[in-house]
Chain A
Amino acid sequence: MAAPIDAVGAKSSSQQILVRRIICYVVLTFFAIISLFPFIMLIVNMTKASGDIQKGFSLVPGTYLWKNFKTVVNNSDWKMLNSLKNSLIISGLSAFLSTYFSALTAYAIHVYDFKLRKPMFTFILMIMMVPTQVSALGFVNLMRSFGLLNSFIPLIVPSIAAPATFFFMKQYMESSLPLDIVEAARIDGSGEFRTFNSLILPILKPAIAVQAIFTFVSSWNNYFIPALLLDDKDKRTLPIVIAIIRSADYAKFDMGAVYMAIGISIIPVAIVYLVLSKFIIRGIALGAVKG
């Protein structure tokens, strides 16, 4: 693609292109540093004693990593490890339920021809735009009347109805799920439900993986709804603990421990992201082209 363009473009512009390329790299690198700086600062400060952090920032790591870790983990007010476990359970199950049932719903609309097919599709697209906070009041009241405050159910089960995940799955099916496959399975005598589970799900794997990661991350980071539902110390999720650490009296604080607490809640996600980044970025692009 590029070769004929270079041949056409005037030779004198090659120097100009080199200059532009250098400018681009300088600007891009500047933004990369800004994007990375908070994390670098976080990681360095995780290894330092509170006093050293207060003296001012330097990139030289300290030797307090293990000590800070123990301080955070042993703090009985924060219950860091317990909230880590809670967040893992909630986010993991949400990701699973959301992707499975959204795929099933998208499959229903993609494959079957039923009367409410079009209206249903439009309806789901419409509810995609409603902010979650709008129904928060009714949601919390309803959960209270069900006796589900301080339960994980209201944080997990609603992810079955995830319009955004549904939409993504539907778009993916349009591009890579030919209906002939379903026909062939029927001729072979496979039941509809079995066809979905054993034949369709494997085809959807890339889309499911991308959406599972997105759902996991947004559930992991969710603060608004859990903060309204959970007040039991043992049920807190990570964002709630972060908010508690933040809102407590700042001066009394062990800064090293604060950075450690933030690190514990974001570094696992960052690592998973870096490992799977190729996949994730392709997924965002997929959503954009169809969006």
Chain B
Amino acid sequence: MRRKSISYAKWGYIFMLPFIIVFVLFNLIPLVSTFYNSFFETYTDMYGRQLDPEWVGLANYKELFVNKGGELGKYLGNTFILQMLGFIPQIFFSLLFASWFTDLRLKLKTGAYKVIFYLPNVIMAAAMGMLFFTLFSQNGPINSVYQSITGSDSPYMFFNHIWTQRGIISLINFLMWYGNTTIMLMAAINGIDPSLYESAQIDGANPTQTFWKITIPLIRPILLYVLITSLIGGLQMFDVPQIITNGGESVNRTSMTIVMYLNKHLYSKNYGLAGALSLLLFVVAGVLSMIIFFLNRDPDTKKKKKAKGGKR
């Protein structure tokens, strides 16, 4: 089949052309120029006009990693903490729900739950942030419950404490993504040959054993996929903490993420530092992607995939 189509090869290029042109114009050139910017310092004159950027070599990198290294470390740490606070419960509950949804003995009616669990994902992060901000605000519903339970006269200021603030951000991220992960893991579990579960059951395996000995090993490729995409998604975290923390400033910038830091430099037109920070972000994302490529090439994983496909 393929051999016959060789003479049509030029159509392959023609059909790819719009994608390539737009990619080069709107992604590649900006990417290169962002990195190029990181070697310059931008000055503005007393009227706020931009002067020609001046070549400063690696000075921006020195500024970012050495002079402001503490700040950078702090924001990287924040990003990681916020990410994990959301991701750990997300993967735990998604696995739990996915295994319940696919359990042949339980025979749960799942349709409505799937729809409701995924619903928060279609809502704009900014609006979610704002809803939760009002939910946990001084005179919001959570505080009226809190005050009636504890009998306290004054409301609890959720956004003035490091861990409640981080907790709320992570709760929003959790709510937005656990439905998506549940459905993906469910699809993966449904792809497992049912006869494996049947024979395990005949051999007397209990649900916990079948989960750890059959389900987990066989959905490993998807688990890795979920892990890496969540890590990269977490690296890009911006909207929710930006709204919840008033641009990152609240409680000593303890919930400021790395992209919020980048956004701050972009707004203050500190392009050199923004460029250096972008390169750092690119490298981190690149390393994470390399890991996924590496893991996908793992011969062990490939064999499992094939076996799965073959039996269906």
Contact = CB atoms under 8 A, between A and B. Distances in A.
Interface of A: 1-2, 4-6, 8-9, 17, 20-21, 24-25, 28, 31-32, 34-36, 38-39, 41-42, 54, 56-57, 101-102, 104-105, 107-109, 111-117, 120, 126-127, 129-142, 154, 157-158, 160-161, 166, 179-180, 182-183, 192, 196, 217, 220-221, 223-224, 228, 238-239, 242-243, 245-247, 250, 255, 258-259, 262, 265-266, 269-270, 273-274, 277, 280-281, 284-289, 291
B183 A108 contact: no
B2 interface: yes
Interface string B231-269: 010011011001100110000000000010011001000
B118 interface: yes
Given A56-B141, A269-B122, A285-B184, A112 B12 contact: yes
A129 B225 contact: no
Nearest to B247: A247
B8 A112 contact: yes
Contacts of B191: 289
A129 B287 CA distance: 10
B70 to A, nearest CB: 22
B127 A266 contact: yes
Interface string B93-131: 100010010001111100011111111101111111111
A4 B198 contact: yes
B37 A126 contact: no
Contact of A192 (B8, B246, B282): B8
B15 A34 contact: no
B16 A105 contact: yes
A35 B117 CA distance: 6
19 contacts: A32-B112, A35-B120, A41-B141, A107-B15, A129-B286, A133-B236, A133-B262, A137-B278, A196-B15, A223-B239, A238-B124, A242-B130, A243-B242, A270-B122, A273-B118, A284-B118, A284-B187, A288-B184, A289-B187
Contact of A131 (B33, B122, B124, B236): B236
B214 interface: no
A269 B123 contact: yes
Given A223-B239, A224-B239, A280-B118, A138 B33 contact: yes
A5 B131 CA distance: 46
B86 interface: no
Nearest to A42: B131
B127 A142 contact: no
B18 A160 contact: yes
Contact of B113 (A32, A139, A192): A32
Contact of B266 (A25, A36, A130, A228): A228
A35 B243 contact: no
B301 interface: no
Given A25-B108, A41-B135, A228-B266, 10 more contacts: A1-B194, A35-B119, A35-B120, A133-B238, A134-B285, A135-B278, A192-B8, A255-B134, A285-B187, A288-B188
Contacts of A289: 187-188, 190-191
